[in-house]
Structure 1
Amino acid sequence: MKWQAARPEKLIAFLQAQLGGSYSGKQLRRALEANLCRVNARVERFGSASIKTGDTVELASSWKNLVAQKPAPIETIYEDEHLTIINKPAGWVSKDIQPSKLVHRLDKDTTGLLILAKSHLAFEKMKGLFEKKEIVKEYLALVDGHPSQNEGRIENRLGKKGSYQGQTIWGSSPTGSIATTEWKALAKGKNSTLLLCKPLTGRTHQIRVHLAEMNHPILVDRQYAKSFRCKHFIQRPLLHAHTLRFIHPFLNKEISLKAPLPRDFQEVLKLEHIN
């Protein structure tokens, strides 16, 4: 859906007028926050933004689906008397998942495998495995552009650099904590590349920062990139905790799990002609 502004006004008022007043400001702001609106080919996330006469305003065709969407259910991938391992959907804040105790965290818009402990003892045992680096995690990330190499290893120090919309920004810092990520290109699309990323340390936003600093940010991680080569409407940063492997501390057997990609990630892969 595309229109041209006939006069200056606020973006949210313009959208409501174009859509016949059928949708509330709150509903339309959900579409804006999901990166589904562009003004003059640039994503605009704020309904309070002013548009000028002649500006081109575009709304992704998927916005109605988003507005009508109910929160995705949480799928259990593995469960026993000690642990529950879920496939976290986008939009869920890790700390709000109850009643079990979180062993680690995923960012709000990151999907995939998340470990929850059913007792304090199980929590301590799993934290111990993380500290000894005996839990192997792999992520899938769809990044902007095409890296010049097919694989690599990034190691530096990460520290706090500032803030963006109330969120802490992390980046390279001589006084920060050591962070190491290995990555490998799995497939190339028209304007993107699907990477398999293996974090060897567990710093906040580690994969996101490392990929942004190699000039191939995750699509569309606006906290760490201002512009992207790939121009698809994408609702969130496409990062997925794909696999998990460890020796169960109580059952003494290997647990090897894989979480399927969520639908929105799959849809962008199709648009990019990545099988």
Structure 2
Amino acid sequence: MRSILTAAQIEARLLYRDGLMLVLDKPAGLAVHAGPGGGDNLERYFSFLRFGLPRPPALAHRLDRDTSGCLVLGRHPKALRKLGKLFQEGKVEKVYWAVARGRPQQAEGRVDMPLKKLSTRNGGWHMVVAEDGQHAVTDYRLLGGTEELSWIECRPRTGRTHQIRVHLASLGCPILGDTQYGETPQQPLHLHSRSITLPLYPSRAPVSVTAPPPAHMLAALTACGYSQQQHEQQAQAGGTA
């Protein structure tokens, strides 16, 4: 299979590096690992990110194929165990940006709706809100918008599959490009893992990493009030967008 990313290109997407972990700016449209049907995936390029270690890094968590932004990798097994425990115990603060169709009734709030995976007739699957599903909670805040669109910050408190996508759709605000949960197939998914904060070292401040929004989201974000210069300055200063 032909490689799409070169060593220089994958290294250029590195947002953070230390002895335990790497944080990559994952491109939208690329799966993090190989699926049943094969195809290109991000794990194929991890050998370019060893930086002198005997083995490549590995995924500490996952993002959907069409979601961009902060993706954490552990550099060795001990680091992966430590990172896995932080994710499992809910100690990792994750912030996502979405541009959605419509506007939530409240400018901020919490969606507390259990989710369940259902198979479809064509052999696929999707997630639905169901009383017998897994506990799922997302906090959200409206950051800007137009008459038709909303720029929404989401902080998932659980890590269910497609959680933000289903929860926003349940508010009547399907994410742009999300054909699975209410949108028409006109553009890529407008969901971005904006930042991630991990209390990785007990004697230091938590590690906080921010990813710039991808090119395909910039037009919609700008229409909703996003100023790239303003928000990148806030991110560098450790502020919240």
Common fold by TM > 0.5: yes
Residue from 199, 209, 221 that aligns with 2:166: 209
Deviates more, 1:155-164 or 1:100-109: 155-164
What displacement does 1:220 show?
A: 1.6
Q: 2:121 & 2:143 partners in 1: Cα distance?
A: 31
Unaligned runs of 5+ in 2: 34-40, 47-55, 227-241
Corresponding pairs, count: 200
SS at match of 2:114: strand
Q: Deviations over 1:219-271 (max 9, x none)?
A: 020011155xxxxx85311000001111114874410111001111002234x
Aligned partner of 1:242 in structure 2 is 194
Q: Is the 8 A contact 2:67 2:193 kept in 1?
A: yes
What displacement does 1:156 show?
A: 1.7
Larger Rg: 1
Aligned partner of 2:209 in structure 1 is 257
CA spacing shift, 1:273–1:127, aligned 2, 3 Å = closer
Aligned partner of 1:108 in structure 2 is 65
Aligned partner of 1:163 in structure 2 is 120
State yes or no: 1:172 paired with 2:172.
Answer: no
Counterpart amino acid of 2:182? Answer: A
Aligned partner of 1:222 in structure 2 is 179
Q: Relative contact order (alpha carbons < 8 A, sep ≥ 6): 1 or 2 greater?
A: 2
SS at match of 1:269: helix
Q: 1:210 & 1:162 partners in 2: Cα distance?
A: 19
Counterpart amino acid of 1:79? Answer: R
Q: Is the 8 A contact 1:126 1:249 kept in 2?
A: no
CA spacing shift, 1:251–1:175, aligned 2, 3 Å = same
CA spacing shift, 1:246–1:164, aligned 2, 3 Å = farther
State yes or no: 1:76 paired with 2:47.
Answer: no
Once the two structures are superposed, the pairs formed by residues 107-146 of structure 1 within 5 Å of their partners are 107-146=64-103
RMSD: 2.1
Q: Is the 8 A contact 1:157 1:177 kept in 2?
A: yes
Q: Is the 8 A contact 2:118 2:127 kept in 1?
A: yes
Q: Deviations over 1:24-78 (max 9, x none)?
A: xxxxxxxxxxxxxxxxxxxxxxxxxxxxxxxxxxxxxxxxxxxxxx769440000
